[in-house]
Each structure stands twice: as structure tokens, then as C-alpha cells.
Amino acid sequence: IPQIEVTFDIDANGIVHVSAKDRGTGKEQSMTISGGSALPKEEIERMVKDAEAHAEEDKKRREETETRNTAEQLVYSTEKFLSDSGDKVPADLRGTVDSALADLKEALKPESEASIEDIKAKMETLSTESQKMGSAIYAASQAEGGADAGAGFPGAEGGFPGGEPAGDAGAAADDVIDAEVVDDEETK
């Protein structure tokens, strides 16, 4: 049975040296595999200069992309909020939000000629109207929940079924116990 010893050696430059030796006959052959795809220094310098020349253009394109992504996220979250809120949104606010939403969606269409500044302005309008809508819903829920504000919260009147917790029936609700925490680890 022939025995062949094969060795692979990879140097720091990524060049592979392969050698094979037949132990019976002592014949040896070797070959070198080098990376023929290395770019010449001039080509690398040309690419760097080209990248530097287009840096401002790339920065502008990145800003456009980030603005569009942010606007699309705002559209999605506003639509989700509107669908989740349902009838809780006052009709007048819903109308202004729907209008601002439609304006922003129109500006985001690929065939739209809207500039980034236009999109940012429409985003600001939609954001402002959405905040008004959220405030109105919050105010309505506060007014609605004002009568039973503490219901369901421990410690508030009506917080526990049957009134106060059974653990300390004799103590008044406004008794406060102060405690001091001492950390022995700090003194060491």
C-alpha cells in the first residue's frame, strides 16, 4: 500500500504551500497557491479617491434613506394606534390625523417629487397631530376613570375585594413606618 505524506503550509500573506512525498520511493512534489486576486496599489488608491469624491453624495443619500425609514415607521405606528384606539379618538382629531397621514403617505410614494425637507415637515405635522390625539385619549380616559380611579389598585380605596387587606386590620391607612437600610459591605 503506498504511503503519501501531504503537508499544507499557509503563510502570513495567505499563500498556500502544498507538498506531497511518497514514502516508498522518496519522490516529492510541491506546488504553491497564491491569491491572484490582490488589487494593485494604484487601483486601491483610485477606489479610495473615488469614495472620497462621492462622500457628500453618499451622506445625502443616507439622510434620505433614514428620513424615509423614520417616516414609514411613523406612518405604521400612527395607523396601528388609530386602529387600536377605534372610537376613542375624537372625530375632529381623527380627521386632522388622517389628513396628515395621507399627506405623508403621498410624499413617500416612489413617484413623488417631494424633497427630504417636505417629508420632514409632513412628519412633524403628523407627529404633532398624533400627540394631540394621544393627549385627548389620555384625558378622556382620566375623566372616565376619575370616578373609580383607585379600583383594582392595592392600597387605594376599593383596591382589594372586600376593602382593606386582611393582614393588618387594626392599623390606620396613613400610618407610615420608616426604615433605614445599612450596607455593612461599604465599611470594609
**CATH label of the domain that carries residue 99:** 1.20.1270.10
CA neighbor of 13 nearest in space, from 28, 31, 29, 35? 35
What global pTM score does this model have? 0.53
Tally of domains in the chain: 2
> Looking at residue 172, what is its pLDDT?
52
Q: Letter for the amino acid at 179?
A: A
**C-alpha cell recorded at residue 94:** 381623527
Query: 134-161: per-residue pLDDT in tens?
Result: 888 888 878 776 645 444 444 444 444 4
**C-alpha cell recorded at residue 93:** 382629531
> Looking at residue 58, what is its pLDDT?
92
> Looking at residue 159, what is its pLDDT?
43
pLDDT at 82 over 80: yes
Residue 21 inside a domain? The answer is yes
Residue 72 inside a domain? The answer is yes
Distance CA 168, CA 152 (A): 19
Distance CA 172, CA 154 (A): 15
Confidence class for position 127, pLDDT limits 50, 70, 90? very high
Q: Say if residue 69 is in the same domain as residue 19.
A: no
Q: Say if residue 135 is in the same domain as residue 76.
A: yes
Residue 115 inside a domain? The answer is yes
> Looking at residue 20, what is its pLDDT?
94
Q: Position of cell 496599489? A: 41
Q: Say if residue 17 is in the same domain as residue 87.
A: no
Q: Say if residue 77 is in the same domain as residue 124.
A: yes
> Looking at residue 59, what is its pLDDT?
92
**C-alpha cell recorded at residue 15:** 499563500
Residue 74 · residue 127 · CB < 8 Å = yes
Q: Say if residue 137 is in the same domain as residue 65.
A: yes
Residue 44 inside a domain? The answer is no
Domain span holding position 23:
4-33
> Looking at residue 187, what is its pLDDT?
53
pLDDT at 16 over 50: yes
Q: Say if residue 8 is in the same domain as residue 72.
A: no
Q: What is the mean pLDDT of residues 67-79?
A: 93
Q: Say if residue 75 is in the same domain as residue 130.
A: yes
Q: What is the mean pLDDT of residues 42-48?
A: 90
Q: Say if residue 27 is in the same domain as residue 70.
A: no
Exposure pattern of 156-167 as b/e (b: 16+ CB <10 Å)?
Answer: eeeeeeeeeeee
Residue 175 inside a domain? The answer is no
% of the chain residues with pLDDT over 70: 76
pLDDT at 36 over 70: no
Specify the 3-state DSSP secondary structure of 53: helix
**C-alpha cell recorded at residue 26:** 522518496
